[in-house]
Structure 1
Amino acid sequence: MVPKGEGGIAKGRATIALAGAFALAVAHQYLFYGHLFGVSYPIFMLLLYAYMFHDRRSHWREETGFGWFLFVVVLLLSLTYALFDNPVFQALDLFAIPSLFFLHLAYSRGAGKADWWDIRLLEDALQHFVARSLRHVPTSFKIMKFMTTRRRKASGNKTALKVLAGLALSLPLLFVVVTLLASADGVFEKALSAVPSWWSRLPVGETFARLVWIFVAGILFFCYLWGFVKPGIRKTTVPETEAEDEDSRTDGLRADPIIMATLLVSVNAVYVLFVVIQFTYLFGAWQGDLPDGKTYAEYARSGFLELVAVTLINFALLMFALTTGGGKQAEGRLRRAISSLLYVLVGCSGVMLYSAYSRLILYEDVYGYTYIRFLVHAFMIYLAILLIIAAIRIRTDIIPLAKCYIVVSLAAYVLVNYVGMDRIIAEKNIERYRESGTIDPSYLSELSLDAVPTLAKFAKREYPSLQPLLENKRDVLSGSGRGWQSFNWARHAAERELDRLFDK
């Protein structure tokens, strides 16, 4: 009979899970110890997914379309460490990838079984990451104890198992002790001259650190997995009536339609006046028809942040009206009036967003293209898409607002990771140089390695003054040896283009 562990789960199954956790920990330290993130990151994420989903028997739900979508998002983001070198997104992805992974696991295997658009999914993910994982730390040690003390029918097998266990425990200790004694006494070190030379070259500190890394990581991986297998709570299901419409959760927060209509009339009156005045010179700015005799730079700077801030306020007001049902409770003319006012709000917000966007383009024409300005561009386009979705939602309740916004936000974040920000910034600044003769070579040299192929060609054909700055980059690259785990396509392409530039 197979011995049973805590809660009736077979210990043999737990033993396999713990062994897999330590195997994953070995791979983890091999891929990341002493190496920068590179191709190792997507490889490890695939191994981690394989470990977390290897046991189909303990799944709480079948993988859905959104589950696969989130899986693709996580893998694509992890793949950026092998393809690109942008420091901004690499820093953001250090937080984004684990967070999305934990949310994916909580959605696919979580004990709470919350819907992917439900805010309670965040709570479930946090519970699994902390509480339900920590409660299985003693379980991992019980399994290790069980592995070393379980009885065998044949006494010879039992003795052999104990001998192997003793050797496994003694080898790391003997390695550390012998190496320390050899370092302390030259005579003892001479006596060990018969030992292969590679023994003395193995660093004690690194080996010990790797062993600790494997042990700690193995325990953590097992505890996280076992928190899903044995969450410590009963399986619960969300009633289908609750899962059909995310707006069902807002029943306790409703906006009075008359109050909402009054609010919208008040703010729209101001916005319409602003838009009418804005149209008198908004499109004429491109032909030099600027207000109050301002220069392009002054016009571009004035009001940009304010316009973006007002657009965000309008968006928040629009979300409040849609999610609290300000127009749903009204009937007849009042409901149609509120819908019309919401359309006016969307239209005014669109004009403000376009005005801010045009000012930013003018500002870039004068001062050049940078990380922050590129990201503001991307954010404004993203906000415009959200406004369009909200406008469609005003017309029909069929559009699931929260679901659309979650999917669009994740897709937008992946897209902005893959669009090649540094390369685009370099190309735009080069185009500006060709038109105006103005360029900032110091800033261009500070762009990540994604921009180096473009800059190397530009330095060779049009701007030789950039070559010394690129040569400094080449020296830094050539002086940093890396293993295959840190392979990065952007770094490889940069080294290749720099070699072509300077090895003439």
Structure 2
Amino acid sequence: MSDTPSAPPPKDSTPSQPEPAAPATPPGAVPPVPPQHRAMASTGWPGGQRPHHPWGPPTPPSDSWLTRLRPAAPARATTATLIAIAATAFLSALLLGDGIGLNLMLVAAPAVLAASFAARTAGRRLRPWTLVWAIGGLALLGVPALRDAGWPTFLAIVSALVLTAFALHGGRGWPSMLFGPLGLIDSLGPGTTWAWRGLRDRADGSRGRWGPIVRTVGVAVALLVVFGALFAGADAAFADLLGSLIPDFSPAQVPVRLSFFLLGLFGAISLARTAAAPLRWDRMVIRPGRARARLEWAAPLIVLNLLFAAFNAVQLTVLFGGYDKVLEETGLTYSAYARQGFWQLLTATLLTLVVIGLALRWAPRAEPRDRTLVRAVLGTLCVLTLVVVASALRRMDLYVDAYGLTRLRISVAAMEIWLGLVILLIMAAGVFGARLLPRAVAASAAAAVLAFGLASPDAIVAERNVERYDRLGKIDVPYLEGLSADAVPALDRLPEPQRSCALMDIERRLRLDDGGWFATSWSEARARSILAERGIERSRVGCGGPSREEEYDPDADGDPYAP
């Protein structure tokens, strides 16, 4: 502070004008709030702006990549969409829980309708690839209706969900193919709010129409329950028919039914919300890698090609009859040599795909000479990799001849075949362009899963083991007991007592399974028909072990994949 007294104002200075008086507030009215006070009340800070904190996290930009993925808010759910969602939930509670079969397609039908209604309300058009993904998903749901094995069924269900995500999101690039299924999970929370608001709007606008509908449905259900129970008690045949058509509603199953109801409800909501406003995965920009020098990227791949060529030369020598010499030099047995290299060759195939992807990211393609070099080097690597694939499959075939076919062996062999198909697609993309490569790879994976399920791997395993028994007299009956009903037609050709030993556990599982028509696959029905016609010997004499009739636990039945 200064000790100098302040000077008086000059006499000729203009006096300040008085501030205008605020307008009078009428009696009983709320006085207006000044603008600066309104801003402070809305944000909690003077001036309406929060001061910058130097140690706080940086403010995110308004236009982030996540913001670009987000669609606009969808229109409210229509009555048709809500009815389809409710039908999915009720059918899930009624039909799921007793097994897997035709019930998955019955539950999926109203869910698909809910998504279709929501997409039509949002103004989305049906495109060719959307139709391809939708048809593929429904075809994959036919695998549980036809086959009994659990592993192909699981793959088919997961693949059907992935194709459904493709159909709802659209898109053609790698982000859409890789991250599309995540959009279904992202739509679950917003979809619940979206469906509730639509239901509330419909209820507020049609309160007078819901009463008669509810009363009509209630009276119809009551009449069906009362008279159905009376007729079931009056005739045993009608009771059996009714029991096979209607699921079990015992009190112990209430938690299970409720769980499937919620699963169907939220699953249908997620599908419908995604159809109305999907994430825009194609807006995710993947920047190409910095182009490397020609020698920097091409020299390592040329060396790798030489290594592949040397290995394939040895493999071709072996494949054309050089086993005796190779086994003599290595000291391995015939089956040990076949088993030794399959997993390494499978890993080499996978790593080759990674190498091709990285090379395409860093290889220069600005000049025609660069593009020609990329095609030559990577095309040679793809051709040599196909020889590695053929060698791996040949080794697996030799190993199966020595030890028999199992689920694990047929599964990894199928995967190796699909990897070879992917390499062929990459070679085609190098010639015709890579615009359709993401969709082609996804479609090939779905087609492979569909073919794998329809081919019935359990039936193929049983068929190969029966043929091996006819040729060598060797068979692993304990392993065959764990197969599904798909294997019954092949195992039925075995002589006794091997036939009854292999079919005994399968027959017991089918006998104890009380699932309705909607939870029974075609393979199960066919197996029951074969076993009912020919029967089995229930004695364990000649099976190589004691009977397990008393100690059988259907819930503890495993799914062995040991090689």
TM-score of the pair, normalised by structure 1 = 0.75
- Partners in 2 of 1:389 and 1:149 — Cα distance? 55
Change (3 A) 1:105 1:478: same
Change (3 A) 1:211 1:23: same
Secondary structure class of the residue paired with 2:145: helix
- Partners in 1 of 2:424 and 2:460 — Cα distance? 26
Q: Contact between 2:177 and 2:439, CA under 8 Å: does it hold in 1?
A: no
Query: For residue 302 of structure 2, what is the aligned residue in structure 1?
Result: 265
- Give the CA deviation at 1:216: 7.5
- Partners in 1 of 2:119 and 2:286 — Cα distance? 32
Query: For residue 82 of structure 2, what is the aligned residue in structure 1?
Result: 18
Query: For residue 225 of structure 1, what is the aligned residue in structure 2?
Result: 272
Query: For residue 46 of structure 1, what is the aligned residue in structure 2?
Result: 109
Change (3 A) 1:466 1:263: same
Change (3 A) 1:320 1:401: farther
Query: For residue 131 of structure 2, what is the aligned residue in structure 1?
Result: 68
**Counterpart among 332, 348, 351 of residue 313 in structure 1:** 351
| 2:125 matches 1:88 | no
**Counterpart among 8, 25, 29 of residue 93 in structure 2:** 29
Q: Contact between 1:272 and 1:348, CA under 8 Å: does it hold in 2?
A: yes
- Partners in 2 of 1:208 and 1:352 — Cα distance? 52
Q: Contact between 1:284 and 1:290, CA under 8 Å: does it hold in 2?
A: no
**Counterpart among 508, 513, 517 of residue 484 in structure 1:** 517
**Counterpart among 386, 389, 405 of residue 441 in structure 2:** 405
Query: For residue 442 of structure 1, what is the aligned residue in structure 2?
Result: 478
Change (3 A) 1:327 1:384: farther
- Give the CA deviation at 1:272: 2.5
Query: For residue 190 of structure 2, what is the aligned residue in structure 1?
Result: 135
- Partners in 1 of 2:525 and 2:83 — Cα distance? 36
- Give the CA deviation at 1:46: 2.1
Change (3 A) 1:106 1:468: same
Change (3 A) 1:367 1:207: closer
- Partners in 2 of 1:386 and 1:56 — Cα distance? 33
**Counterpart among 154, 164, 168 of residue 101 in structure 1:** 164
> Larger Cα Rg: Structure 1 or Structure 2?
2
Deviations 1:28-53 (A, max 9, x none): 21221x42111111122122212221
Q: Contact between 1:38 and 1:488, CA under 8 Å: does it hold in 2?
A: yes
Out of 282-291 and 492-501, give the one that drifted further: 282-291
Q: Which amino acid aligns with 1:225?
A: A
- Give the CA deviation at 1:142: 4.6
Change (3 A) 1:40 1:315: same
**Counterpart among 363, 370, 382 of residue 326 in structure 1:** 363
Secondary structure class of the residue paired with 1:439: coil
Q: Contact between 2:480 and 2:502, CA under 8 Å: does it hold in 1?
A: no
Change (3 A) 1:478 1:206: closer
**Counterpart among 309, 313, 328 of residue 276 in structure 1:** 313
Q: Which amino acid aligns with 1:491?
A: E
Deviations 1:159-180 (A, max 9, x none): x949979x98xx99xxxxxxxx
Deviations 1:394-444 (A, max 9, x none): 444367432322222221121111112111111111121222111111212
Tell me how many residue pairs correspond in the alignment.
437
Secondary structure class of the residue paired with 2:131: helix
- Partners in 2 of 1:486 and 1:493 — Cα distance? 14
Q: Contact between 2:500 and 2:536, CA under 8 Å: does it hold in 1?
A: no
Secondary structure class of the residue paired with 2:318: coil
**Counterpart among 118, 126, 138 of residue 182 in structure 2:** 126
Secondary structure class of the residue paired with 1:63: coil
Change (3 A) 1:435 1:474: same
Change (3 A) 1:455 1:215: closer
Secondary structure class of the residue paired with 2:319: coil
Q: Contact between 2:401 and 2:468, CA under 8 Å: does it hold in 1?
A: yes
Q: Which amino acid aligns with 2:535?
A: F
Q: Which amino acid aligns with 2:272?
A: L
Change (3 A) 1:206 1:421: closer
Q: Which amino acid aligns with 2:101?
A: G
Residues 57-206 of structure 1 mapped to structure 2, 5 A cutoff: 57-107=120-170, 115-120=171-176, 123=179, 125-127=181-183, 129-145=184-200, 161=211
- Partners in 2 of 1:50 and 1:337 — Cα distance? 50
Query: For residue 354 of structure 1, what is the aligned residue in structure 2?
Result: 390
**Counterpart among 335, 354, 368 of residue 297 in structure 1:** 335
- Give the CA deviation at 1:116: 3.3
- Partners in 2 of 1:136 and 1:276 — Cα distance? 58
Q: Which amino acid aligns with 2:84?
A: G
Q: Which amino acid aligns with 1:357?
A: L
- Partners in 2 of 1:264 and 1:445 — Cα distance? 48
- Give the CA deviation at 1:228: 4.2
- Partners in 1 of 2:125 and 2:264 — Cα distance? 28
Q: Which amino acid aligns with 1:404?
A: A
- Partners in 1 of 2:379 and 2:484 — Cα distance? 42
Q: Which amino acid aligns with 2:85?
A: A
Q: Contact between 2:148 and 2:485, CA under 8 Å: does it hold in 1?
A: yes
- Give the CA deviation at 1:374: 0.8
- Partners in 1 of 2:422 and 2:205 — Cα distance? 60
Secondary structure class of the residue paired with 2:78: helix
Deviations 1:99-152 (A, max 9, x none): 332332222xxxxxxx1334146556534x344442353454455555555587
Q: Contact between 1:105 and 1:125, CA under 8 Å: does it hold in 2?
A: no
- Partners in 2 of 1:75 and 1:349 — Cα distance? 34
- Partners in 2 of 1:317 and 1:40 — Cα distance? 43
Secondary structure class of the residue paired with 2:117: coil
CA RMSD of aligned residues (A): 3.8
Query: For residue 472 of structure 1, what is the aligned residue in structure 2?
Result: 505
Query: For residue 192 of structure 1, what is the aligned residue in structure 2?
Result: none
TM-score of the pair, normalised by structure 2 = 0.67
Question: Alignment identity in percent?
Answer: 22
Q: Which amino acid aligns with 1:104?
A: A
Q: Which runs of 5+ in 2 are unaligned?
A: 1-72, 223-247, 538-563
Deviations 1:40-72 (A, max 9, x none): 111221222122213563245422222122112
| 2:449 matches 1:416 | no
- Partners in 2 of 1:116 and 1:298 — Cα distance? 45
Structure number with higher helix proportion: 1
Q: Contact between 2:118 and 2:272, CA under 8 Å: does it hold in 1?
A: no
- Give the CA deviation at 1:76: 1.4
Deviations 1:168-223 (A, max 9, x none): 8xx99xxxxxxxxxxxxxxxxxxxxxxxxxxxx98556568757865775466346
Query: For residue 245 of structure 1, what is the aligned residue in structure 2?
Result: none
Secondary structure class of the residue paired with 1:387: helix
Q: Which amino acid aligns with 2:121?
A: S
- Partners in 1 of 2:339 and 2:437 — Cα distance? 34
